[in-house]
RNA sequence: GCCGCGGUGGCGGAAUUGGUAGACGCGCUGGACUCAAAAUCCAGUGGUAGCAAUAUCAUGAGAGUUCGAGUCUCUCCCGCGGCACCA
């Protein structure tokens, strides 16, 4: 028998499977249940890393198993090909982003093929191709026409290094998520999508999903729903009112001042009418310019300025209280104004102490002489509400002051326009002359046109709006998109009046592209629709979505929103796209650190595959730890050798295959293994599945010749993990069909149940003996056996048996 | 600060969900084969005591519930992740 040569075997079968189209999946199937397994599609960065293997080769085990169980499985792959990194790399190397991306896709495709995965390549989706982004544009326009997209001057996150706007989700503690530059604030006109309209449903619908709690919580935190109420404070002598948002209306009698955020619209109104206008103006000016990273920095002392000469009136007791502007109140949250209750809020307490403002306790239960008391209790100093609990008082005081119940969210609308070249052109045009008319008579226009006067969707027959080939695609500091430099691109015809219109020159955030790719996989070649409803109903919703935790509050949240919006438009038929979502763990370098070029601990999967083979690599990644937990697993160069050894032993075992009849213990272990491996794969615990296969091999090696039938069954169990070797050995046994189209073996339950069981005998909770008895032995049978044991008698002696606990088929505990 | 997840040998990790703690793999120790090495095979491998059978301690710390706790409850410590001047 030849030595195990992974190179020839792996190459050979990859070609055969591909030539035979073994893994191409039709939308229709007869008598099989459909199953859609999705793994986040890769970004064509240029090179595959071990993380890609972990993302695709390990789920392939699950997918192959599902197929053997008789499911019709969709396991697609594609590339998330638009976006900043490709463009930055292209700029750096002086090449065109398209060429750069295409080259990377071609190279990485070959690398992915070396995994021996059972992807349906015929469904490949590449987001930067017009056949795909035509539908990204079309879907975006559906949202536009539904009034979910608006253009508005807003304060945006500007990355000075990437030279583009970032969504809130792309800013991590004041820095650009991608390049770590400090993000600046700029006021710019941007296209945003109303994800906040869906905030409640995005939270509430989490209930129905089979997702790990940590993902649900992270999304809830991100959306940050807070239930409270709005209360109006009249400004003495002014017509304007200050509306505050509070979750503690029960403390209204403890208000000793009111604060406006520097961005609050009333600030400028008041500034002009107070004695210290200059001081206020200076304060506001410096506060607004500050970067978030400074403004939010830890332990920062609170600052603010009093509006001299104006007062607000507390609606609860008619008391006049001073008004401040202070940057500890955020313009972007709530109403941008708060009522300050120093006695019962830590921030207000700190501010009050600094500016020597009164602290008035209105809830009994804590000492407010040193710090704020934020707990609940009984009201004091609150007029007729004294003696009520904080809970009761909330509603009553809201009624008393005419407040409104109100919910606020941390979530901001999703800014989707980017001032960069390598993205989907936003398919909208602007017509100045129509802008005025649309505002006058808004009938006959869709919601998008009504809320964005002068802006029109490019008509269906004009899609896609192609991304033009231009020479200078570099971004600029002034916030103008590179596309605006192409005069040819900018010129368009107004779909309403037929006159001259201008194209939008910003491109879409790549997260828009990836918000619906799983729908396209269902029907990737459809030229008339983004996907047919038949194709969608075959596969959607996604049964299992595997990805990385970094996308919890970005891609996963965006795509849930996008899907819900499409659901409301009747374009898809379920409101949630993913039944199960899982965050996989991370493979660390051999030093236990996250792999990075700067640390020099990056592993090259190509080298490992060349040296040890794809099957070894797959097995090791399966074995390294439980797949369904967000653990981080350090790579071990010695550990993977163990997997290679195991495969070589499987290979050598072939020589012991003969026509012997397997003994009982072998048959029992075979069936136990069939059962356990199936259970473990189902639960994504590939590590223990591999372990069971190893236990089985250890047994077979020790027990003389191996029956051909048993060896075949062994190979079936191994085939999802090591598809190439098991296919080769399968054929060496004389089979001429593929191992990967075989059915998963069925374990013989009655065989397993008929076996004798070992029962642990404890005395006072300590293991003292073990006895063997038939699995259907009665408690009385067991009792007789136990008390026949000399060891038991030795321990029990002449003491009274106070308790005899019997756990069937498991253990006995005798309490003396 | 709030929320979520976790803490088990030298290492990655098992543990039938309240029932033999440490499966499986790595590493390590000893042996076989070899002139030798590698590879392979065999045996051992949580601590302590013992030649051994065995006893005893042990799942971050401490308490509790239970015949029985890695698993449940409470208090605390540590690590990872999310949110954070969010009113």
Q: What is the 3-state secondary structure (H, E, C) of A129-195?
A: CHHHHHHHHHHHHHHHHCCCEEEEEEEEEEECCCCEEECHHHEECCEECCCCCECEEEEEEEEEECH
- Which pLDDT belongs to residue A293? 60
* CA-closest candidate to residue A713, choices A742, A684, A734: A742
Nucleotide nearest to A213 (CA to C1'): B4
Q: Work out if A765's Cβ lies within 7 angstroms of strand B.
A: yes
User: How would you classify the pairing of strands A424-425 and A544-547?
Assistant: unpaired
Q: Which residue bears the tokens 């033009």? A: A468
- Counting DSSP H helices and E strands in chain A, the numbers are 29, 36
Task: Specify the pTM.
Answer: 0.93
- Whether the CB-CB separation of A348 and A360 falls below 8 Å is answered with no
Q: Work out if A801's Cβ lies within 7 angstroms of strand B.
A: no
A772-803 tens-digit pLDDT:
888 888 889 999 998 888 888 888 888 888 88
Q: Work out if A328's Cβ lies within 7 angstroms of strand B.
A: yes
- Which pLDDT belongs to residue A797? 81
Low-confidence ranges of chain A (pLDDT < 50): none
Alpha helices in A573-684 (DSSP H): 605-612, 614-623, 637-653, 664-682
* CA-closest candidate to residue A421, choices A508, A513, A516: A508
- Which pLDDT belongs to residue A558? 95
- Which pLDDT belongs to residue A311? 94
Q: Work out if A218's Cβ lies within 7 angstroms of strand B.
A: yes
Question: What is the Cα–Cα distance from A233 to A242, expressed in whole angstroms?
Answer: 5
Q: Work out if A807's Cβ lies within 7 angstroms of strand B.
A: yes
Nearest amino-acid residue to B56, taking CA and C1': A766
The Cα-based distances of A674 to A57, A167, A414, A689, A754 in angstroms read 22, 49, 49, 10, 17
Q: Which residue bears the tokens 């198993």? A: A65
Q: Work out if A225's Cβ lies within 7 angstroms of strand B.
A: no
632-661 on A, CB < 7 Å from strand B? 632-634, 636, 638-639, 641-643, 645-646, 648-649
Q: Which nucleotides of B are covered by protein (CB under 7 A)?
A: 3-5, 11-16, 19-21, 23-27, 39-42, 55-56, 67-69, 81-87
A760 CA, B73 C1': separation in Å? 28
Nucleotide nearest to A638 (CA to C1'): B26
Interacting residues of A342 by C-beta distance below 8 A, sequence separation 6+: A254, A256, A348, A349, A351, A352, A353, A357, A358, A359, A360, A372
Tokens of A739: 């191992």
A758 CA, B54 C1': separation in Å? 21
SS3 label, residue A498: coil
- Which pLDDT belongs to residue A149? 97
A56-89 tens-digit pLDDT:
999 999 999 999 999 999 999 999 999 988 888 8
Q: Work out if A400's Cβ lies within 7 angstroms of strand B.
A: no
């Amino acid at each position: 028998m030849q030595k195990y040569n992974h190179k020839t075997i792996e190459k050979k079968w990859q070609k055969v499977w591909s030539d035979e189209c073994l893994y191409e999946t039709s939308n229709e199937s007869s008598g099989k249940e459909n199953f859609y397994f999705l793994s986040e599609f890769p970004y064509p960065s240029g090179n595959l890393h071990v993380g890609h293997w972990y993302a695709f080769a390990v789920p392939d085990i699950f997918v192959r198993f599902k197929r053997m169980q008789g499911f019709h499985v969709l396991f697609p792959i594609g590339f998330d090909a638009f976006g900043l990194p490709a463009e930055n790399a292209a700029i750096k190397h002086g090449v065109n982003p398209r060429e750069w991306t295409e080259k990377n896709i071609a190279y990485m495709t070959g690398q992915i093929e070396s995994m021996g995965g059972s992807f349906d390549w015929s469904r490949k989706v590449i987001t930067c191709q017009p056949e795909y982004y035509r539908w990204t544009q079309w879907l975006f326009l559906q949202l536009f026409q539904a009034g979910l997209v608006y253009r508005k001057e807003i304060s945006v996150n500007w990355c000075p290094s990437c030279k583009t706007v970032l969504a809130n989700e792309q800013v991590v503690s004041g820095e650009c998520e991608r390049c770590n530059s400090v993000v600046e604030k700029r006021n710019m006109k941007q296209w945003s999508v109303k994800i906040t309209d869906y905030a409640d449903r995005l939270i509430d619908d989490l209930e129905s999903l089979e997702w790990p709690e940590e993902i649900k919580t992270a999304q809830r935190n991100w959306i940050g729903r807070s239930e409270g109420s709005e209360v109006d404070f009249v400004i003495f002598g002014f017509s304007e009112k200050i509306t505050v948002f509070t979750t503690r209306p029960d403390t209204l009698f403890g208000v000793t001042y009111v604060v406006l955020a520097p961005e609050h619209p009333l600030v400028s109104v008041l500034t002009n009418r107070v004695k210290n206008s200059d001081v206020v103006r200076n304060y506001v000016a410096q506060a607004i310019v500050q970067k978030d990273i400074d403004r939010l920095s830890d332990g920062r002392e609170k600052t603010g300025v009093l509006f001299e000469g104006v007062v607000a009136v507390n609606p609860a007791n008619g008391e006049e209280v001073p008004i401040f502007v202070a940057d500890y109140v955020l313009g972007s949250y709530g109403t941008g104004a708060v009522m300050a209750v120093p006695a019962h809020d830590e921030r207000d307490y700190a501010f009050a102490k600094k500016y020597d403002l009164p602290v008035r306790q209105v809830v009994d239960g804590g000492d407010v002489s040193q710090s704020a008391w934020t707990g609940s209790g009984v009201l004091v100093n609150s007029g007729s509400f004294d003696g009520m609990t904080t809970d009761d008082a909330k509603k009553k005081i809201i009624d008393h002051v005419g407040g409104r119940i109100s919910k606020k969210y941390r979530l901001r609308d999703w800014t989707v326009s980017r001032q960069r070249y390598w993205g989907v052109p936003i398919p909208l045009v602007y017509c100045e002359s129509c802008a005025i008319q649309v505002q006058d008579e808004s009938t006959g226009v869709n919601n998008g046109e009504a809320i964005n006067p002068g802006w029109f969707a490019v008509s269906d027959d004009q899609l896609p709006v192609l991304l033009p080939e231009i020479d200078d695609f570099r971004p600029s500091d002034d916030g103008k998109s590179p596309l605006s430099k192409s005069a040819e691109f900018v010129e368009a015809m107004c779909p309403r009046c037929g006159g001259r219109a201008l194209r939008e020159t910003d491109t879409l955030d790549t997260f828009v592209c990836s918000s619906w790719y799983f729908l396209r996989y269902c029907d990737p070649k459809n030229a008339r629709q983004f996907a047919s409803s038949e194709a969608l109903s075959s596969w959607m919703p996604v049964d299992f979505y595997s990805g990385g935790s970094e996308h919890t509050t970005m891609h996963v949240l965006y795509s849930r929103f996008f899907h819900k919006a499409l659901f409301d438009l009747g374009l898809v038929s379920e409101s949630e796209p993913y039944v199960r979502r899982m965050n996989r763990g991370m493979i660390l370098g051999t030093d236990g650190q996250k792999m990075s070029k700067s640390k020099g601990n990056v592993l090259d999967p190509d080298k490992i595959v060349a040296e040890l083979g794809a099957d070894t690599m797959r097995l090791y990644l399966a074995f390294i730890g439980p797949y369904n937990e967000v653990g981080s697993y350090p790579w071990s160069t010695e550990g993977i050798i163990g997997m290679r050894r195991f495969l070589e032993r499987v290979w050598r075992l072939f020589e012991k295959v003969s026509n012997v009849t397997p003994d009982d213990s072998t048959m029992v272990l075979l069936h136990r293994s069939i059962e356990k491996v199936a259970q473990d794969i189902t639960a994504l615990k590939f590590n223990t599945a591999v372990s069971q296969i190893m236990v089985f091999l250890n047994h077979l090696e020790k027990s003389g010749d191996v029956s051909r039938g048993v060896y075949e069954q062994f190979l079936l169990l191994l085939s999802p993990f090591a598809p190439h070797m098991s296919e080769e050995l399968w054929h060496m046994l004389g089979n001429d069909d593929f191992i990967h189209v075989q059915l998963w073996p069925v374990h013989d339950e009655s065989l397993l149940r008929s076996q004798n069981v070992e029962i642990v005998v404890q005395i006072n909770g300590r293991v003292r003996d073990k006895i063997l008895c038939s699995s259907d032995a009665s408690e009385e049978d067991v009792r007789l056996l136990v008390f026949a044991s000399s060891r038991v008698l030795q321990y029990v002696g002449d003491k009274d048996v106070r308790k005899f606990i019997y756990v069937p088929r498991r253990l006995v505990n005798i309490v003396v």
